[in-house]
A and B are shown apart, each in its own frame.
Chain A
Amino acid sequence: MTLTVTDLVIARGGVPVLEGLSFTLNPGRALVLRGPNGIGKTTLLRCVAGLQPPVSGRIEGAGDTIAYAGHSDGIKPTLTVAENLTFWARVFGAGSIGPALDAYELNDLTDRHAGNLSAGQKRRLGLARLLVTGRPIWVLDEPTVSLDRSAVEMFAGAVRAHLAQGGSALIATHIELGLEAELLEVGPYKARPAPLDDFDGGFL
């Protein structure tokens, strides 16, 4: 499933943040978004995930192909690790949670309440959710926050395996993942401030 974004303009809180953005994400490929804080990476990912409509432009190939992981992991502290993961597996109609537990080395933690996990362990659980969605395009917002070095390796391994199976990934991150990924610097697409819409505007 190819994700195609054409001439996209997105806004946050009514203020345009990125404009004229176009890219294509083919199966088996990963695209890493780079850019300073506040440039609109999260907004772009939320648009692609369908949580927010773009101002203009087209997003094709999104919808039921997207597995989104944002800043929060959507983990219920009073459920155990296995219960959290099983819930998402059943929502997405995907099979067993075993491979996801293996990929992020969560097997020793299955019966622990998620509220007792460390921040990095919670993040691993949140990322393990992607594996039970069975969806081809991963849209990830800062996935490595609070992960230690070995967990980042696990994550990179999971992404590599996903790409090898014909999936694709759109990742906003500031760190080097060691992936064969294309880089997209979104800075140049920063939206110009809207021209002042009053009489004096012509003189400024």
Chain B
Amino acid sequence: MIALLLRDLKLSLRAGGGFGLGLAFFLIVTTLVPFSVGPQSALLATIAPGVLWLGALLACLLSLDRLLALDWEDGSLDLLATAPLPLEGVVSIKALAHWITTGLPLVLAAPVLGVLLNLPAPGYGWLVVSLILGTPALSVIGTFGAALTVGLKRGGLLLSLLVLPLYVPTLIFGAEVARRGAAGMETATPLLMLSGISAAVIALLPFASATVLRINLR
């Protein structure tokens, strides 16, 4: 398991691995928002939590289509399925590697980009907390989508269509935590909902992903 995690991290850092692509995308999207909305700092402060969450979500989506597709193309997935690792473990590790290379950098970069969007001061802590709790769910749901579309030519677009609706609850509660935090309101309820969604998704979806993958490998 550790070997697989280390290999995936190494692969993402090597040429063409796509490390930092999501981060760069996040940076560009959030920089474009002030240009399109205009220099209205009050308006930007209002929409900042939502924009940051939406940007993070789209950035997560960007690298999902390579998550399992590359291993499928070069035959590694067949070999991993016949290896002593349980397939549930393989997809969990894949999701973890995706989170470390995509989700974690987004969490760390979000406060810096919050400055660009004039995010109110109390919001920074809540933004980071909501992203830390929410982005693992994005990676795990995304891995499920990748397992569904593995082996399909041009599966990337279908993957986005399948995965984006599943991201809705995480987006609603994640952005709500950040919004309420920025407005200085009480955040316990959306925070609990967000944590609940993430916990349930991390606990249950790997089984679904592994089942789907077994069917797709036939």
Q: Which residues of A contact B (CB under 8 A)?
A: 46, 49-53, 64, 66-79, 83, 87-88, 90-93, 129
Contacts and interface: CB of A to CB of B under 8 A. Distances in A.
Contacts of A83: 7, 10
B78 A68 contact: yes
B109 interface: no
A19 B112 CA distance: 64
Given A50-B82, A51-B81, A66-B82, A73 B75 contact: yes
Interface stretch (B11-19, B34-42, B204-212): B11-19
B75 A72 contact: yes
B74 A78 contact: no
Contacts of A79: 7, 10-11, 14
Report the 5 A-B pairs with minimum CB-CB distance, sorted nearest first.
A72-B75, A90-B3, A78-B14, A74-B76, A74-B75
Nearest to B83: A91
Given A52-B218, A78-B17, A83-B10, A71 B81 contact: no
B121 interface: no
A76 B74 contact: yes
B10 A74 contact: no
Given A79-B11, A91-B3, A74 B79 contact: yes
Interface residues of B, number: 25
B217 interface: yes
Contacts of B218: 46, 51-53
B87 to A, nearest CB: 11
A129 B218 CA distance: 22
Contacts of A91: 3-4, 80, 83-85
Contacts of A52: 217-218
A75 B71 CA distance: 9
A87 B11 CA distance: 12
A64 B81 CA distance: 11
Contacts of B74: 72-77
Contacts of B16: 78
22 contacts: A49-B82, A51-B81, A51-B82, A51-B217, A64-B84, A68-B78, A70-B75, A70-B78, A72-B74, A72-B75, A73-B74, A74-B78, A74-B79, A76-B74, A78-B16, A78-B17, A79-B14, A88-B79, A90-B2, A91-B3, A92-B83, A129-B79
Nearest to B17: A78
